[in-house]
Amino acid sequence: MYLTQLDRRPLYVQVHDRLLAFIQESGMEPGERLPSESTLADQLGVSRATLREALRLLEEEGVIVRRHGVGTFVAANRHLESGLERLESVLALAGRQGMETRMEDLEVRIVRADRSVAERLGTDPGVSLTYVSRTILVEDQPVAYLEDLVLTDWLSPDHLNAEFSGSVLDLLRGLYPQRVQEALAEITAVRAGRSLARRLGVSPGAALLLLEETLFDTTGAPVGFSRNYFVPERFRFHVVRR
C-alpha cells in the first residue's frame, strides 16, 4: 500500500480510500482481521493519528468493526454510506465499496414541468422534461427509488439505451464531461406509501430518507431535479464538518 504525492485531498481521506481498496482487492472476507495499526501505519507511511481517523470513517461506513484490545475486522453486515458533501451517484458509491448493483422497474418518458419543478429549474411550467424512475438494488436488496426530471436539451429518452446502468448523474457526466459541477440537496424524513413500500420491500408507513436535489452546470444554470428515496437501514448519510 502507498499514497501518491499528487493527491491533494486530506491525508486521512487518502488513507481511507487506500484501505478500502486493500480490503476489496485482497479479497478479505467478513470477520477477517486486518493487520495491526502499527503495521498499517508503517506500510502507508502515516502517523497512527491519521490512520485512526481513516479507520474511524471506515467504521462509520460499516466497512470494518474495531474491537478494543482485540483488533480491526471486516464487518459482516455492510450498508451504504455517503457524505452529503460529495456529488456521487448511488451506483458509483456502491462500486467504490465493492458492492454489486442492479436496476429494476425502469420507466422513461417525456413529461411537462409542474409549477414546483419549474421553479427549481428556473423555467416555465409546461416545459418538456425527460422523466426517469427506477429502483436500485445493492447486493439484491432494494436500497433506493430514484426519480429524475432533466431538461430535454440536456437529456432525451434516446440517451437511455441498453447500456444505462441506473445513474442519470453518471450518464450526464459522460455526455457532458466537466459541465455538471454541483448540486443543492435537501434531506427529509418521509413515510412510504403503498407504491414506494412495494418497490423498496418495506412496510407501508415505514420511514424513508428523501433526498431532493437540483443539479447545476458550471455556469450555475439548473440541469435537472431529482427525488431519491432511501431505506435508512441500508443507507446512511454523513456530513464532514471542519
Question: What are the tens digits of pLDDT across the range 162-213?
Answer: 889 899 999 999 999 989 989 999 999 999 999 999 999 999 999 999 999 9
Per residue in 81-98, pLDDT tens?
666 666 778 888 787 767
pLDDT the model gives residue 47: 94
The structure's pTM equals 0.69
Lowest mean pLDDT, pick from 2-6, 41-45, 82-86, 189-193? 2-6
pLDDT at 6 over 70: no
* pLDDT of res. 84: 61
**Contact status, residue 21 vs residue 63, Cβ threshold 8 Å:** no
Is residue 153 scored above 90 in pLDDT?
A: yes
What's the pLDDT at 194?
95
pLDDT at 26: 84
Residue 78 has pLDDT above 80, yes or no: no
pLDDT of res. 24:
80
Average pLDDT over every residue of 5-25: 83
Looking at residue 125, its pLDDT comes to 97
* Structural domains of the chain, with CATH: 11-74 (1.10.10.10), 83-238 (3.40.1410.10)
